[in-house]
Amino acid sequence: MKQSDKETEAKKEIHTEQTLRQSVNNSLSPTFCVAMLKNGSTVKIEGKAEEFLQTIKEADFAWINVQVDELKEEGGKVASMLGLAPSIVYELESQRFSGYDDHTTELGLLLPAVRVRELDVEVNKLIILIKNNLIVTIHGEHVTRLVKFARYAVTFFKKVPKNLDDVDKISLVLIRILDENNERNFDGRCCSLPKIWRC
């Protein structure tokens, strides 16, 4: 990727973050659900996590992204409401930067979401919970990177082969989320450095 492309991507992330903050101030939630329904249609719904419960029941597979103010307490409540073990969130949140918690039927991952501003490096926590045909991502307000994937997630979901097992469908979504997070962890690193140190 060229230097100018890196700078453009970093500027886009800053703009996305500002837009999300404006959205929050206007009472619009950055929390959303993308689902492939059993009837073959694909939907994206914005709102509160509890509003997605019926969609989950009707889904072949789904991804729910939830922004919370306090990761441990609110994240645990969200997990419980969506039928996941809140103890996974508590365990992962206590880890420093990364970790996983395997409960046989449920899996939790903790990933670092790195944000670079000038010479300041901020590491935020991104929690990913997986159970059956559902992926849930939970994070604080400074993690805006998944919004980019959300813009075309409906198209991505439509491209997932319908004849795959549930575990394979949800694995494809997980891979895309991991890829988006990893890519964003490197955005802005070079272009935020003084010119003499840039890549």
Say which range, 15-24, 54-63, 132-141, 144-153, has the weakest mean pLDDT: 15-24
Q: What would the pLDDT profile of 77-88 be if each residue is shown by its tens digit?
A: 999 999 999 999
Alpha-carbon distance 133 to 38, whole Å? 12
- More confident: 191 or 123: 123
Res. 161: pLDDT tops 70: yes
Q: What is the pLDDT of residue 24?
A: 39
Hey, which bits of the chain come out as E strands?
32-37, 42-46, 59-67, 99-102, 106-117, 120-131, 134-139
User: Residue 117: what pLDDT?
Assistant: 74
Look up residue 62 and give its two tokens. Answer: 């789904």
The token pair at 160 is 């997932």
Domain segments of the chain: what residues? 3-192
**Separation of alpha carbons 81 and 97, rounded Å:** 25
- Topology at the third CATH level for domain 3-192: Beta Polymerase; domain 2 (3.30.460)
Q: Cα–Cα–Cα angle for 75, 188, 121, nearest 5°?
A: 55
pLDDT tens, residue by residue, 89-135: 999 999 988 899 998 899 999 998 887 777 777 788 899 999 999 99
Comparing C-alpha atoms, which of 123, 22, 113 is closest to residue 65?
Answer: 113
- Proportion of the chain above pLDDT 70, given as a percent: 79
Q: From the CA atom positions of the chain, what is the Rg in Å?
A: 17
